[in-house]
Amino acid sequence: MLEPVRMPTDDAVPSEDDAVDADDLSDAVVRQLLPRLRRFALHLTRESESADDLVQSTLERALTRWPGRRPEGNVRAWLFTILYRQFLDSQRQTRRYSRLRDWFAGSEATAPSAEREAIARSALGAFGRLPESQRTLLWLVSVEDMSYKAVADLLDVPLGTVMSRLSRARSALRDLSEGKGNEPCLRILK
Amino acid sequence: MTERAIDDLTRHAFVDGRLSPEQRQAMHAYLRANPDEAQKLASWQSDAQRLRDVASQETLHPNPNLDPDAIRARLRARSRQRLAMAASFVMTLAVGGLAGWSAHDTVVANHVLPMQDAMQAYRLFASADAPQPDVSAGASDLQRWLDTHFAHAERLPNLSASGFKPIAARLLATDQGPAAVVIYENANERATFYIRPPGPGGKFLPQGSRRDGDLLARYWSGQGYNYAVVSSGDDGVVQPLAAPGTTRS
């Protein structure tokens, strides 16, 4: 019987980039973070044009708000949070709009666009077929190497929820990679 | 040993390389005893690595719009625009308020009853002791005389329904130019047709009528002039008949 591995506290596992610091929203910091913001936005929106629009409105908001408000965490987490909130807002608006559109145009408007399907099948393969919330979580943890605590703050959920969601997301990604396609996969590949 | 022995946080911290060396060592020992778990975490690790690889290979097209300089410049331009818009809004309010106030003044100052001069002309020229008219003639002569002074004006109204026939006319002067009064007569009474240029500021009249003492005026505008038919109010408003060449009845 092995002794169980002691659970690390989140403070004990800072991720390197969380130290990208951070007290200043200087142009240099923004330029440094810009590619990361754009890639994250790209994986949220899946369209480069709307991704850049999202980044642009994020930076506008951030630069407008900065003088009056300092973020609690570091600048990167703060910017990512603004970007993600804006994305969710725009999603809600889009859903409202598409409900309206469906009402007038019939249900064909809900079919995924060719572009979306193409992107879903593209380089990221299985990852691209995950639902948005799982993609976001995996992206922030694996690609951005953001601390679990920062991710929990960004998603506005408890740390434990982040960990269990992360388990589900990683299992789902594995299943998709191994061809155990589940429902979202079938829907997109039909 | 079951999976419960470690929790999600430890599991992911291992996958993401966030354990301290001692913790990692303990974890390796645990995984040696749990090959299934070891395999699962290894595949999670390789999935994460693949994701990082793909992300790092992704090319982003340069977008100068996203440079902080460009963003700041746009924000400045936008706040200038907002300021300008706010300023123009304030200006609009101020100008509107002033204009409204002066318009109010003007209205108060110019609050003259329509065709007051037509009423006075009736009292002066249609009375029994009226001064001599400029012309005394039948309808066609009077029309010709009127046309020499008022180009393109409406025709003389036909008041024959009430028995009125034009008998004389007289030229008058107003601030805005010549006016004329044409006197009509029937068996008992007189009526007048009054023509004048529009009032100050080119003010045309809506069609209407009003009573002033014992007189009744019916007035309207057209062809660049204001007109009135004034009669003694006892018989009601004299209604002109439509006549050839008359643009209004």
* Degrees, nearest 5: CA angle A86-A92-A95: 140
Nearest CB among A7, A35, A52 relative to B10 is that of A7
Given the structure tokens 């037509």, which residue do they identify?
A: B118
Instruction: Tell me the Ramachandran region of residue A22: left when phi exceeds 0, alpha when psi lies from -120 to 50, beta otherwise.
Output: left
CB A75 within 8 A of CB A21: yes
| DSSP letters spanning chain B | --GGGS-HHHHHHHHTT-S-HHHHHHHHHHHHH-HHHHHHHHHHHHHHHHHHHHHHH------GGGSHHHHHHHHHHHHHHHHHHHHHHHHHHHHHHHHHHHHHHHHHHT---TTHHHHHHHHHHSSTTPPPPSEE--HHHHHHHHHHHSTTPPPPPB-GGGT-EEEEEEEEEETTEEEEEEEEE-SS-EEEEEEE--BTTTB---SEEEEETTEEEEEEEETTEEEEEEEEGGG-PPPPBP-TT-S--
- Nearest Cα to Cα of residue A62 among A40, A80, A87: A80
Q: How confident is the model at residue A169 (pLDDT cuts 50, 70, 90)?
A: very high
Residue B93 or residue B6, greater confidence = B93
Residue A46: strand, helix, or coil: coil
pLDDT in tens, B1-35: 444 457 889 999 999 999 999 999 999 999 999 99
B38 at the A interface (CB within 8 A)? no
Cα(B159)–Cα(B166) distance, rounded to whole angstroms?
Answer: 9
Best residue of A31, A142, A146, A174 to probe chain B, by most B CBs closer than 10 Å: A142
Cβ of B75 within 8 Å of Cβ of A63? The answer is yes
Cβ-Cβ contacts under 8 Å, B48 against chain A:
138, 141-142, 170
Distance of CA A27 to the CA centre of its chain: 23
B33 inside 8 A of chain A by CB: yes
Q: How far is residue B237's CA from residue B211's CA, in Å, rounded to a whole number?
A: 10
Q: Which of A153, A122, A126, A129 is nearest to A140 (CA)?
A: A153
- Answer whether B23 sits within 8 Å of A6, measured CB to CB: yes
Instruction: Measure in Å the smallest separation between the Cα of B89 and chain A Cα atoms.
Output: 24
Token pair listed for A158? 């408890």
B234: Cβ–Cβ under 8 A, 6 or more apart, which residues?
Answer: B214
Average pLDDT over chain A reads 76
Q: Which fold has domain A114-177?
A: Arc Repressor Mutant, subunit A (1.10.10)
Domain-wise residue ranges, chain A: 16-105, 114-177
Residues sharing a CB contact under 8 Å with residue A168, sequence separation 6 or more, in sequence order: A134
Give me the pLDDT at residue A157, please.
93
Shortest CA gap A113–chain B (Å): 22
**Calpha distance A68→B171 (Å, rounded):** 78
User: What is the pTM (predicted TM-score) of this model?
Assistant: 0.55
* Best B3, B6, B7, B8 residue to mutate vs chain A (most A CBs within 10 Å): B8
Structurally, at CATH architecture level, domain A16-105 sits in Orthogonal Bundle (1.10)
Q: What is the mean pLDDT of residues A71-97?
A: 84
CB contact under 8 A, A142 and B69: no
Asked if pLDDT for residue B211 goes beyond 50, the answer is yes
Q: Chain B contacts of A2, Cβ < 8 Å?
A: 1, 5, 26, 29-30, 33
Q: What is the percent of chain A with per-residue pLDDT over 70, rounded to a whole number? A: 67
Number of A to B CB contacts under 8 A, please give it. Answer: 125
Spatial strand order of the sheet with B177-185 comes to: B135-136, B165-174, B177-185, B190-196, B225-232, B215-222, B208-212
* Beta-carbon separation of A39 and B60 below 8 A: yes
Q: Are B229 and B240 in contact (CB under 8 A)?
A: yes
- Across the interface, which of A34, A39, A141 has its CB nearest the CB of B66? A34
Contact A38, A52 (CB under 8 A): yes
Cα distance between the two ends of chain A? 49
Contact A141 B12 (CB under 8 A): yes
B42 touches chain A (CB under 8 A): no
Which of the four pLDDT bands, split at 50, 70 and 90, describes residue A187?
Answer: very low
Contacts of the segment B120-126: beta carbons below 8 A, 24+ positions apart: B121/B172, B121/B179, B121/B181, B121/B192, B121/B194, B121/B230, B122/B181, B122/B190, B122/B191, B122/B192, B122/B194, B122/B215, B122/B230, B122/B231, B123/B215, B125/B170, B125/B181, B125/B183, B125/B192, B126/B183, B126/B190, B126/B191, B126/B192, B126/B230
What percentage of chain B carries pLDDT values higher than 70?
88
State in Å, rounded, how far the first CA of chain B is from the last one: 109
Residue A1 is predicted with a pLDDT of 46
Residue bearing tokens 């990208």: A20
| pLDDT of amino acid B246 | 43
In A, minimum Cα distance to B43 occurs at A174
**What residues in A contact B1, CB-CB < 8 Å?**
1-2
Residues of chain B in contact with residue A170, where contact means CB-CB under 8 angstroms, are 12, 15, 44, 47-48
pLDDT at A48 over 90: no
A149 or B57: whose pLDDT is higher? A149
| Encoded tokens for B81 | 């625009």
Interface probe, candidates B24, B39, B44, B76, chain A, greatest A C-beta count within 10 A: B44
Find chain A residues with C-beta within 8 A of B11's C-beta: 167
On whether ipTM exceeds 0.85, the answer is no
Q: Give the pLDDT of residue A26.
A: 77
Over B30-64, what HEC string results?
Answer: HHHHCHHHHHHHHHHHHHHHHHHHHHHHCCCCCCH
Number of CB atoms found within 10 A of residue B129's CB = 5
